Amino acid sequence: MTRNAARWPAALTAALSLIVASLAADAAKGTATYKTKTKPVTVTFTHAYLMKGPQIGGPDKIRRLILSTADVSAALKACQSMMCSDGGISEGMTVDFDAGPRLHYWFVADGQKIQYSGTAALTAAKLTTDLPTQVAGRLAIDDSGAGGPSVQVQFDATLVKELQK
């Protein structure tokens, strides 16, 4: 076997690892169920994004996790302020990290006809990666007793954009 032929399997393995890693990033797998007066509504998350910017009403920077059923990456990349940092999702949720002693979240379903805002203990997020440019892990929230959603989702989100306003 030649010297270059011996390197080929290692190079192929490295390339495949990068491809698999890029496919896994910015993905979500899980659901949120919200009980309406007539029936339960389930949202299945498939996309995860991370935005960073100032908390509305204050100078402190937060990281916002966006979980969505649809690809909203173009809207997030075009966003110029935290006011649009949810990507205009019609089904999904946002979770604010670094916003205080609790996680702040907003859940939407059925074209935003169903909306619920709440907070959860920081322990609701079990992060395996907790970096300024990436968050990954599991989120488990059950606010069904208070009229909110029950959420179980695994996610891996890399920073899409850091906003200044």
Q: What is the pLDDT of residues 103-141, one digit of tens each?
A: 999 999 999 999 999 999 999 999 999 999 999 999 999
Q: Look at residue 9 in the predicted model and tell me its pLDDT.
A: 56
Q: Which DSSP string corresponds to 122-138?
A: GGGEEEEEEETTEEEEE
Q: Look at residue 20 in the predicted model and tell me its pLDDT.
A: 39
Determine the structural domain holding residue 45 and report its residue range: 25-162
Q: Look at residue 2 in the predicted model and tell me its pLDDT.
A: 55
Rounded Cα distance between 158 and 116, Å, is 25
Picking from 164, 118, 163, 165, the residue whose alpha carbon sits closest to that of residue 142 is 118
The tens digit of pLDDT for each residue in 25-82 reads 589 999 999 999 999 999 999 999 999 999 877 778 999 999 999 999 999 999 898 8
In a domain, 44, yes or no: yes
User: For the chain, how many structural domains are there in total?
Assistant: 1
In a domain, 148, yes or no: yes
In sequence order, which residues have a C-beta less than 8 Å from that of residue 15 and are 6 or more positions away? none
In a domain, 87, yes or no: yes
Query: Residue 17 pLDDT more than 80?
Result: no
In a domain, 48, yes or no: yes
Whether the CB-CB separation of 83 and 112 falls below 8 Å is answered with: no
Rounded Cα distance between 164 and 46, Å, is 28
In a domain, 5, yes or no: no
Q: Specify the length of the chain in residues.
A: 165
Backbone angles phi, psi at 117, to 5 degrees: -115, 140
In a domain, 16, yes or no: no
Query: Residue 12 pLDDT more than 60?
Result: no
In a domain, 132, yes or no: yes
In a domain, 96, yes or no: yes
Q: Look at residue 23 in the predicted model and tell me its pLDDT.
A: 37
As a three-state string, the secondary structure of 77-115 is: HHCCCHHHCCCCCCCEEEEEECCCCEEEEEEEECCCCEE
